[in-house]
Structure 1
Amino acid sequence: MSTGLRERKKSATRQALHEAAVRLAIEHGPDRVTVEAIADAAEVSRRTFSNYFANKEEALLYGDLARMRLLLDAVRSRPESDAPWPVLTAAAVEVFQDFGTRDPGWIAQVRLVRRHPALAAQQVTTYTAMEDDLTAELTARGVAAPIRARLMAAAFLTSLRVAVQAYPDRTGGATLTAVMQEALAETGKGFVCG
């Protein structure tokens, strides 16, 4: 399905604001970055910024939200007959496989999140919002007990968040995918039966 010009422009503006927020936060620290500075760097008005993001933290972590949406799409694209935890793991590998290289900008962003409580809180909010959608998907896939579906979704998302936070400190050429698979394998031990 082709995206219309208006939607492509909106997407480009959202991405420009996100990139400006990341760049400024890395250069000056998130506490010194203002919404106005982000809007100026993206060459849009403060009002335009507000049409896309509620605050600078949301703009900075927009990439996380975009990846969470891709992750949900990847889960939904898997055969319904497949066991839930392997479906989640395969979807994570698919979405995050391109993050296996050590992009200095992304690594800096991950480290910013670890050091700044407001960013960490925004990241947890993003992951928690995805929990409802994943719980519904797991329930539709036959995870009968609602609490088990919710626990599985929460454990999965927490594993991803922990892997992303641990990745910058790994040495020896470990990829994000490898760190993620390790975290998911450990967490999944309690869910491999369905």
Structure 2
Amino acid sequence: MILARLEGVSGLRERKKRETREALMTAALRLALERGLDHVRVEDIAAAAGVSPRTYNNYFASKYEAIAARHTDRVRGAVAALRARPATEPFWDALTEALTEPWARHAGEGCAAPGPELLASIRMLSTEPALRAEALRVALAADGELTAAVAERTGTDPARDLYPSLVAAAATAAVQAAVGHWLRADPPVPLVPLLREALRQLAAGLPAPLRPEET
């Protein structure tokens, strides 16, 4: 009984932390879009989320980190998903499912057009120098986490073998290319099939497409 009660309290505490983090990320993006990034302070974000600046600092080190956090979460979600895939599943199938899962959850499995919040956050990440620097920092850290997960999955050693680092870098680039294509597509196309196709081509060794006269 006592153990169950303690587990309930712990679960409630973790849920509260997730809700606070989500509120801070949402407030940071909303205020940046409304006022411009240069006119948003940490104190403003904390107030909009209903917490103190001290609480804010328990979650994020800067306003840039709060705005880039969704990207961080997607990468970490993919790493966790890869580690949770069945051990008997073929490697590239497992990697494809793991990398598409966070995007499918955020953008929607059949979503053709980017949602306004997602589109705004990605555009902001790609145009604001400070956010681009934060996104690069996140990407470098994420590559290391994905490399470790790939190494575990394939029984390789990232300190000795090139394969896990190469796969992580190439797969990350494939996802970025697919997302970029999705953002530019006119008419809109669904994201998840694009992600799957990009990773399928990568797994196949990126064969050159047939020319019209060869089809």
Q: TM-score range by the shorter chain?
A: 0.7 to 0.9
1:74 and 2:81 aligned = yes
State the partner residue of 2:32.
25
Q: How does 1:49-128 map to 2 (within 5 A)?
A: 49-98=56-105, 99-100=107-108, 101=111, 102-128=114-140
State the TM-score, normalized to the length of structure 2.
0.79
Alpha-carbon contact 2:43-2:53 (below 8 Å) kept: yes
State the partner residue of 1:151.
166
State the TM-score, normalized to the length of structure 1.
0.87
State the partner residue of 2:180.
165
Q: Aligned match of 1:188 in 186, 203, 207? A: 203
Once the two structures are TM-superposed, the CA of residue 16 in structure 1 deviates from its matched residue by 0.7
Once the two structures are TM-superposed, the CA of residue 158 in structure 1 deviates from its matched residue by 2.3
Residues of 2 paired with 1:34 and 1:167: CA distance? 32
Quickly say closer, same or farther: Cα 1:185–1:121, change in 2 above 3 A.
farther
The share of aligned pairs that are identical, in percent, is 38
Unaligned runs of 5+ in 1: none
- Count of residue pairs the alignment pairs up: 192
State the partner residue of 2:54.
47
Unaligned runs of 5+ in 2: 1-6, 207-215
Alpha-carbon contact 2:32-2:40 (below 8 Å) kept: yes
State the partner residue of 2:14.
7
Alpha-carbon contact 1:21-1:60 (below 8 Å) kept: yes
CA RMSD for the aligned pairs? 2.3
Once the two structures are TM-superposed, the CA of residue 37 in structure 1 deviates from its matched residue by 1.4
Residues of 1 paired with 2:41 and 2:31: CA distance? 9
Amino acid at match of 1:148: Y
Amino acid at match of 2:170: A
Alpha-carbon contact 2:31-2:40 (below 8 Å) kept: yes
Residues of 2 paired with 1:160 and 1:69: CA distance? 14
Deviations 1:74-94 (A, max 9, x none): 111222233333321121223
33-42 vs 17-26, greater mean Cα deviation = 33-42
Residues of 1 paired with 2:85 and 2:131: CA distance? 32
Once the two structures are TM-superposed, the CA of residue 143 in structure 1 deviates from its matched residue by 5.2
Q: Which has the larger radius of gyration?
A: 2
Quickly say closer, same or farther: Cα 1:34–1:167, change in 2 above 3 A.
farther
